[in-house]
Amino acid sequence: MAGADTEGGVSEVLSAILMVAVAVILAAIVASLVFGIGLLEEPKTVAVTATRSGENVTFMVHGGMNMDRVTEIRCWIGGVGEGNENFTLDARAGATKTSRVPGATRVVVVGRFADNASWILLDKTL
C-alpha cells in the first residue's frame, strides 16, 4: 500500500471537535440570557458635593445626566446606619442644606431613582 492516504481521518476529528466547541459556546450564550446573566447596569450620574467651612458642612446638588430620574437624595452624617443624623435634600439641581458638624466625620449621600435603585453619590470624610 505504498502512497496510501494516512491522514484521511484528521479532518473528521478536527471538525467534530470544532462542532462541539461551537455547541458549548452557543449553550453558554443561551444560558446566560435565560438565567439573567447579562450586561451590568449603567451607573447613575448625579453630582452632589459636601464642603466644610469651620463647623458647618454644606451639601449641594449640582445635577447630572440622570437628574431627571432621581426621586430622593438622602444625606447621612457619621455614616449610614441607625442613630446617625440624616436628612433629605430636594431632588433638583441647586438644592443646598447646611448642617453643624463639629470635628471630622464621614458623610454619605445616597440617591434613590425612579427604578427604585439606590446609588451612593458621595462618600467621604470631612
Q: Which residues pair with 70 in a beta bridge?
A: 113
Give 86-96 pLDDT, tens digit per residue: 999 999 999 99
Together in a domain, 71 and 31: no
pTM exceeds cut of 0.85? no
Together in a domain, 2 and 53: no
Together in a domain, 4 and 62: no
Give 65-78 pLDDT, tens digit per residue: 989 999 999 999 99
Contact predicate 86/57, CB 8 Å: no
Q: Which carries the bigger pLDDT value, residue 13 or residue 54? A: 54
Together in a domain, 34 and 65: no
Name the region of 110 (left: φ>0; alpha: ψ -120 to 50; beta: rest). Answer: beta
Together in a domain, 72 and 107: yes
Res 29: pLDDT = 87
CA 64 to the chain's CA centroid? 16
User: Which CATH number do you get for residue 91?
Assistant: 2.60.40.10
Could you tell me the residue range of the domain that residue 111 belongs to? 47-125
Q: Which residues pair with 59 in a beta bridge?
A: 50, 97
Together in a domain, 31 and 64: no
Together in a domain, 30 and 56: no
Q: Which residue spans within 1-126 are E strands per DSSP?
A: 47-53, 56-63, 70-77, 85-89, 96-100, 106-113, 118-125
Q: Which residues pair with 96 in a beta bridge?
A: 60
